[in-house]
Amino acid sequence: MSNPEHTLGVTPPISAALPTDAEKRQTEALLKELRAQGTFESQAETDKRWAVLADLQRITDEFVKRAAQEKEPHNSILIRDARGRIFTYGSFRLGVYGPGSDIDTLVVVPKYVTVKQYFDIFPDLLVEMAPPGAITDLTPVPEAFVPIIKFEYSGISIDLIFCSIQSLRQLPDDKDWNLNNNNLLRGLSENEVRSLNGTRVTDEILALVPEEKTFKLALRAIKLWAQRRAIYANIMGYPGGVAWAMLVARVCQLYPKATSAVIVRKFFTIMLNWPWPLPVLLKNIEYNQSITRVAVWNPKIYPSDRNHKMPIITPSYPSMCATHNVGRSSMAVIQQELERGVQISEEIMLGKRPWKDLFEKHTFFTNGFKFYLTVISSGRTKEAQNTWSGFVESRVRVLVQKLELHPSIALARPFNKGYDRVHRCKTDAQVEEIQTGNLAYMVKPTDTAANGNAKSESKVEVKAEIKTEDGVAPGPAVPVVKEEPTDVVHLGTVPLKPEEKPVKPEANDDNAEKVKLEDIPEKEPEIEIYTTNHYIGLQLVEKARSLDLSREVDDFKAMCTSNDIFKAELMGLTIQHVRNFDLPGDVFEPGETKPVRPVKKKKRMAEGDPANGPMAKRQQMATAPPTIKSEQ
């Protein structure tokens, strides 16, 4: 889709100049680098995605027919015309997905189909109608704000949300039917509106850019840059995929005839100099609508909207802020990265540097901070840890906000992903050690795979999150880098090896020595513990000598453990402070240099030497590292 003549956006373009030959060459070089970085998948993989979506459409139609039959078993016309629709949203619908990407999917059904039927019927129907063994890691999440079923279909991760259109008795039998009509929102709750708006926002973004092809290539570049620089995660206080897409779309509106390389270059300059909190808008906000009770973003009316530091507003009604989680520290980090992007992209366009320099990995662990906090959630079963770690992850930014208020902290930067680890131990004392950060009992991913407990999909920050055939990123054993709550695995004892299984004694004559089962030593059962670590880098104010975080830590733990999700017999939560040279080795990739403990030089000072006087001791104290206190 392209709109070359129609002016798009809330302001006229800055420039409508046609691209030069040099700019075209830079765009070709950018495309070549993105391919080299592995951001594109093969045609066969894409065809597989479409085949999975076709299967989901077939299953959805059958689901609606069964729901109609359950609702009105004698209404043959209702059952005959019953149908649902599958829509996608996010990176797949935007056309910027890559190898290993999941598919964000929406099931739309008529008004008579209920959420209860969705969770009662659809999971079993998936297994029934899909090819044998195609459905794995099936996890319905009925308690989520937006009803969702998570699963993998033939190795492709699917997040399937649900919405029942209250204004439609039956869905139209029209392949071109879409969700862009605002009247479809009538009678829907806030979570149902949010379900529909994923697709509506994605479609609106594509309709508001001058050239889709230019937009998509530029967005691929900005997504890869944001992921590599660890500033891509809405839940952790950074812009998510939709927010970055809207920023790129706005630059496309301002330079409607530019190439993708120019869009990337202008992106950094414009966003670095954007007069926040002036909102980024792709079109004027629709006010004075009475279709839904869901509030439209309006800082003149709502105080909470006035607090948004970096408002990026969705174009579909009802308009919402996609970056309400961005805080002071994360915004400062984004500004630093934009400055870096401006410098590098300028040199790239002048032919002085290659595009790959823009996509260099972050230095969060290698050269980012001297001090870190690590938030450790733990579970005695993977089911428990799946629920608990997801909840704790959604609250980490609250801890960051509290840390930002501390007078000794200049910046508190959360890493955008958590590290999932599996541990095996034998005693409760060892469990407590694990819960406080001890990695002595950690199991390598290859070991967990051998015992059937590995994740079926690894998403690590290598080659733009490329998934290898066996689901494990290349290189030495590295824990899974977490983006969303993980799937479910049972905790239990490690199975005995075949040679260690008790052997039933064969029948023997009365004079032979009898072997009793209880005489055969059994292998002591091991306990599996699942943990997720989230790291927060701390930059202290100048001359800070000590840092007492016990109040912030206690408040955060009380907030998390007071929630009904928390089960003390299954779950744990601790917060530890860590120096950079004490970071675990698995947060570093091959070739990266881990910080080392500074070596203190001891000097022998003669008695009466001025260097050993009170003034010298005060100077020594002034150069000593600050102490950090965090009560557990």
Do the bridges between strand 546-548 and strand 480-482 make them parallel or antiparallel, or are there none, so unpaired?
A: unpaired
In DSSP terms, 419 is beta-bridged to 481, 533
DSSP string across 82-113: ---EEEEEHHHHHT---TT--EEEEEEE-TT-
CA distance 231 to 368: 14
- The answer to whether residues 358 and 225 touch, using CB atoms and an 8 Å cutoff, is yes
Using CA atoms, how far residue 318 sits from 148, 304, 327, in Å, is 22, 16, 23
| Burial (CB count <10 Å: 0-12, 13-18, 19+), residue 617 | exposed
Catalytic residue among 89, 91, 203, 535: 91
CA distance 501 to 610: 73
In the residue annotation, 389 being an active-site residue is answered as no
Catalytic residue among 55, 102, 203, 420: 102
CA distance 204 to 180: 8
- The answer to whether residues 316 and 392 touch, using CB atoms and an 8 Å cutoff, is no
In the residue annotation, 104 being an active-site residue is answered as yes
Q: Is residue 164 within a helix (H) or strand (E), and if so which, with residue range?
A: strand 156-164
Query: Strand, helix or coil at 250?
Result: helix
In DSSP terms, 536 is beta-bridged to 373, 414
Closest CA to 455 of 446, 464, 463: 446
CA distance 403 to 399: 6
CA distance 85 to 150: 18
User: 202: which DSSP letter?
Assistant: H
Contacts 24+ apart (CB under 8 A), 300-308: 308/277
Closest CA to 445 of 428, 467, 420, 462: 420
Catalytic residue among 232, 238, 372, 419: 232
In the residue annotation, 159 being an active-site residue is answered as yes
Write out the two tokens for 197: 């708006």
User: 37: which DSSP letter?
Assistant: T
User: Is there a cis peptide before residue 318, judged by omega within 30 degrees of 0?
Assistant: yes
Residue 123 phi/psi, 5-degree rounding, is -60, -45
In the residue annotation, 223 being an active-site residue is answered as yes
In the residue annotation, 91 being an active-site residue is answered as yes
Radius of gyration of the chain (CA): 28
Catalytic residue among 223, 382, 482, 557: 223
Catalytic residue among 55, 159, 203, 487: 159
Query: Strand, helix or coil at 79?
Result: helix
Catalytic residue among 55, 97, 101, 104: 104
- The answer to whether residues 546 and 627 touch, using CB atoms and an 8 Å cutoff, is yes
In the residue annotation, 600 being an active-site residue is answered as no
Residue 108 phi/psi, 5-degree rounding, is -110, 130
Write out the two tokens for 404: 């930002």
CB contact set of 78 (below 8 Å; sequence gap of 6+): 68, 71, 72, 112, 170
Closest CA to 314 of 213, 241, 212, 255: 241
CB atoms < 10 A from the CB of 610, how many?
Answer: 8
Do the bridges between strand 546-548 and strand 627-629 make them parallel or antiparallel, or are there none, so unpaired?
A: parallel
Active site residues: 91, 102, 104, 159, 223, 232
